[in-house]
Amino acid sequence: MSSMSSKNDVIALACSDIHLCHTAPVWRSTEKNWYDAMKRSILQLLQLQKKYGGVPILCAGDIFDRWNSPPELLNWTISLLKKRSGEIYSVAGQHDLPMHNPDLLSKSAYHTLFLSGVIHPLSGKSEPVQIKKDVFVFGFNYGETVQNCPKKTGLSIALSHQYIWIPGYEHREADEKSRLSAKWESVLSYNTVIFGDNHIGFSTKIGKTNIFNCGSLMCRSSDQIHYRPQIGLILSDGRVVPHYLDCTDDSFLPVEEVKEDLSERMKQFFKEVQDLQEVNLDFEEYVRILSKKLPKHIQTILLSLLESVR
């Protein structure tokens, strides 16, 4: 990368909704090794960071799928992120937070990443970080509203884990309060705004403000069958250009099989749980007995859920 500044210089990378987890989602349960599958995506992010001279990575939340991720996953994540060639700044998503509560952040695996030195957490309560001369990043965790930018000089970037949508990039139950146009006042006070939470990536521009919703870094559910995970290249003029990940080695269950597993077989499972209510067993015993009738990948998910709520 040239030492001379230009409007096309990459000054940072944007990502979000990595959702690292110990057990593969149902749709990805055909992966030979789920940790290797996650590693493919993370390495592409780190290789891109190295390519652009160690520019910082700005993560808009949900690094983990569960706030109390097991030690094996946490140790693996720390070891992998130590290979970074630059800094990683992040805000916390609801999956990173115990009971979605920012006040309990110190109890989370996300906080351990901070203590290990592999990420630098940002929030609405912290000072902005200067990642380059006259380039400032302001962070807003899940549950924190994007505030008006207090700095009027240089390039201002807001990093927020907040569900927003524009027409064509929303889930079925998205409400008008989450529509981007409902949040314009504070959003438009920044040069660039990076959002996480909405797993459908998109970019747009309103006035002079560049808006980039990262989307998920990995395909996790069957409704993402045509989705292309992306990383945002933040340029020195505030624009964000998508860089699409290579997912050719990813493995998926056939969509029809996923639908069957999650509908008919799960309905049957819960019906049998109800039928066993007269038996003197607790809920955990119900699940362990009846899960044996389900496909192996669903058994694994149910049993891991039991472990997480103990």
**DSSP per-residue string spanning 256-267:** HHHHHIIIIIHH
Q: Has residue 1 been placed in a domain?
A: no
CA 20 to chain centroid: 8
The DSSP bridge pattern shows strands 135-140 and 129-132 to be antiparallel
Number of domains in the chain: 2
Is 160:140 a contact under the CB 8 Å cutoff? yes
Tokens for 273, please give them: 């749980």
Classify burial at 132, counting beta carbons within 10 Å of its beta carbon; exposed 0-12, middle 13-18, buried 19 or more. Answer: middle
Which candidate, 129, 152, 5, places its Cα nearest to that of 59?
A: 129
Angle between helices 34-51 and 71-81 (to 10 degrees): 20
What does the alpha-carbon distance between residue 63 and residue 113 come to, in Å, rounded to a whole number? 10
Domain CATH code at residue 145: 3.60.21.10
pLDDT in tens, 233-256: 999 999 999 999 999 999 999 876
Which candidate, 84, 91, 99, 92, places its Cα nearest to that of 53?
A: 84
pLDDT in tens, 26-84: 999 999 999 999 999 999 999 999 999 999 999 999 999 999 999 999 999 999 999 99
- Residue 1's pLDDT is 37
On whether both 277 and 137 belong to a single domain, the answer is no
**Of the residues 244, 265, 292, the one at which a domain ends:** 244
On whether both 23 and 81 belong to a single domain, the answer is yes
**DSSP per-residue string spanning 122-173:** --TTSPPEEEETTEEEEEE-TTPPPPPP---SSEEEEEEE---B-TTS--TT
On whether both 62 and 190 belong to a single domain, the answer is yes
pLDDT interval class at 278 (50, 70, 90): very low
Domain region containing 261: 255-309
Which candidate, 266, 274, 275, 263, places its Cα nearest to that of 293?
A: 266
On whether both 140 and 39 belong to a single domain, the answer is yes
Burial 94-115 (b: 16+ CB within 10 A, else e): bbbbbeeebeebeebbbbbbbe
Q: Mean pLDDT, to the nearest integer, of 280-297?
A: 60
Q: Has residue 2 been placed in a domain?
A: no
Tell me the percentage of the chain whose pLDDT exceeds 90: 69
Among 82-86, 185-189, 249-253, 292-296, the least confident range: 292-296
- Inform me whether the pLDDT recorded for 5 exceeds 70: no
- Inform me whether the pLDDT recorded for 6 exceeds 70: no
- Residue 3's pLDDT is 35
What does the alpha-carbon distance between residue 309 and residue 68 come to, in Å, rounded to a whole number? 10
The predicted model scores a pTM of 0.82
On whether both 213 and 299 belong to a single domain, the answer is no
On whether both 184 and 283 belong to a single domain, the answer is no
Burial 231-247 (b: 16+ CB within 10 A, else e): bbbbbbebbbebbebeb
Is 91:192 a contact under the CB 8 Å cutoff? no
Q: How many CB atoms lie within 10 A of CB 283?
A: 12
On whether both 61 and 103 belong to a single domain, the answer is yes
Which candidate, 149, 132, 131, places its Cα nearest to that of 140?
A: 149
Is 29:228 a contact under the CB 8 Å cutoff? no
Q: Has residue 250 been placed in a domain?
A: no
- Residue 85's pLDDT is 96
User: What's the DSSP call for residue 145?
Assistant: P
Residue 21 φ then ψ, to 5°: -150, 155
On whether both 235 and 283 belong to a single domain, the answer is no
- Inform me whether the pLDDT recorded for 165 exceeds 90: yes
285 or 134, greater pLDDT: 134
- Type of residue found at 106: S
On whether both 275 and 219 belong to a single domain, the answer is no
- Inform me whether the pLDDT recorded for 145 exceeds 90: yes
